[in-house]
Structure 1
Amino acid sequence: MNLLAALAVKPWLPQPPDPGRDAPRAPAAAVGLRVLLGVIAMLFALFAIALLVRARLPDWQALPWPATLWLNTGLLAASSVALQFASGAARRGQDRGLRGALAAAAALALGFLAGQGWVWAQFVAAGHFVASHPAASFFYLLTGLHGLHLAGGLVALGWAAAGLAREGPGERSARRVALCATYWHFLFAVWLVLFALLASSPGTLVALGSAVGMHGH
């Protein structure tokens, strides 16, 4: 009966397309990146909530705000722009522009990390240690965690550059660079949120906490 049923379908004739079978699927790497970004977003969101809760206590104090942090923000923004340019060059198969943009993005990101290290050194020189007060603790925690994620992104960027050197421009290289660009844009957005929180006065943080439903101390 199974054979007769199979013959009744007439498999030797062209079959109509199966929408479920032939529908394009997102590459596994893209799906994995979305999951990763969701996890990272939740992690930073939890720390942001913890900061807003802690800032309501009377021992919270404003941090000095080095001008270097503005420069660092500009470096990270430029790195994100360079990776977006690299992604476009990869799609167009522009080998020279792609390699130059990848190198610029990596150099700018390294500059951002070096600048963050310099800010840490400035904080230590001014007597703001991890255990000095809660605001300093959150500053080191959040900037350090963000820096670690960016360092991980540099490893992925190196993987994309190695693939480009091995295979040359093509669809695979374009996908790798596009994933790196998405990750970079996400980390830049995270940094802007962290920058705004860490630069806010205690009164602003309390008002923000109240706006999102936090009450009490």
Structure 2
Amino acid sequence: MSIVLAFLALLVAAIGWWLAQQRLFSKPWLETGIQPMTMDSPATPPETLGLWIFLAVVGALFAMLGSAFVLQIDATPWQLVPLPRLVWVNTGVLVLSSVFLQIAAIAARHGEMRLLNLSLAAGGASTLVFLVGQITAWKVLTTSGHLLAGAPAASFFYLITGLHGLHILGGMVAMGIVWLRLAPGSRPKQAHAAVALCALYWHALLFIWIVLIALFTGWGNEVLALCRSVLR
């Protein structure tokens, strides 16, 4: 429950920041004495707003799963699954993938077609390496006796990381569609909005992954225990 509340607080803060950026709370007619006719700032594109809503839903889903993971530990204490070292390598690969997507967004904004193609290729390849690495990490865990139908901690690990992998696959499909639309004669700036949305999606999945790793290693539980002691 603490994770869900923390996520909701973060979501409310993000929405408040977005509303402030849109100047929805401003009253320019009180500042200038002129009745407002039109908005000075451009409206947020529907695809951007749609992605933010989707990320909010995805974040809420993982927050509920993480909360169930923590509550189950509190109710029936179990030993956490020892994460293979490959998981940390996969985390570094996902960080690189997020960086490549950000570079691609910057390249599209500046109209650098060659850098855009290279960055998208590197981002897609590193993401594929991440997925293969996760499947390999699952095999390592099953070989060491941590089966899907075994300990609750192992079941949660396979469920949550598998769900995260499905969202990664969905992002790769979307990125592939954007990349295919970059015809040889097209202008990179026209694809900037789509590439920027892909980069935002990757950043969000990277953030979720880091939070999940904190839970699976027990770091998140210690932070939550500290928060509970402060709130009491």
Please, what TM-score do these two structures have when normalized by structure 2?
0.78
Question: 2:101·2:202 contact (CA, 8 Å) conserved in 1?
Answer: yes
Q: Closer, same or farther in 2 for the Cα pair 1:96/1:87, shift >3 Å?
A: same
Shift of 1:170: 3.6
Question: Within the alignment, does 1:39 sit opposite 2:57 as a pair?
Answer: yes
Which one-letter code corresponds to 1:108 in the other structure? S
2:38 to 9, 14, 19: 19
SS of residue in 2 equivalent to 1:90 = helix
Gaps of 5+ in 2: 1-34
Say if 2:175 is the partner of 1:150: no
Q: Which moved further from structure 2: 129-138 or 178-187?
A: 129-138
Larger Rg: 1
Cα deviation digits, residues 163-196 of structure 1 (max 9, x gap): 1126623433111100000000010000000011
2:125 pairs, out of 91, 107, 119, with 107
Aligned match of 2:5: none
Q: Deviations over 1:91-114 (max 9, x none)?
A: 010000000000000000000000
Residue aligned with 2:81, SS: coil
Q: How many residues align?
A: 195
Aligned equivalent of 1:191, options 202, 205, 209: 209
Q: Counterpart of 1:56 in 2: which secondary structure? A: helix
Q: TM-score, normalised by structure 1?
A: 0.83
Confirm whether residue 172 of structure 1 aligns to residue 193 of structure 2: no
Change in 2 beyond 3 A, CA 1:55/1:34: same
- Answer 1 or 2: higher relative contact order, Cα 8 Å, separation at least 6: 1
8 Å Cα contact 1:51/1:138 also seen in 2:
yes
Report sequence identity in percent.
42
- Report what 2:105 is aligned to: 87
Give per-residue Cα distances to partners, 1:102-142, cap 9 Å, x unaligned. 00000000000000000111111111111201100110011
| TM-fit CA distance, 1:42 | 0.5
Structure 1: segments with no counterpart, 5+ residues: 1-15
> C-alpha distance in 1, partners of 2:176/2:138?
26
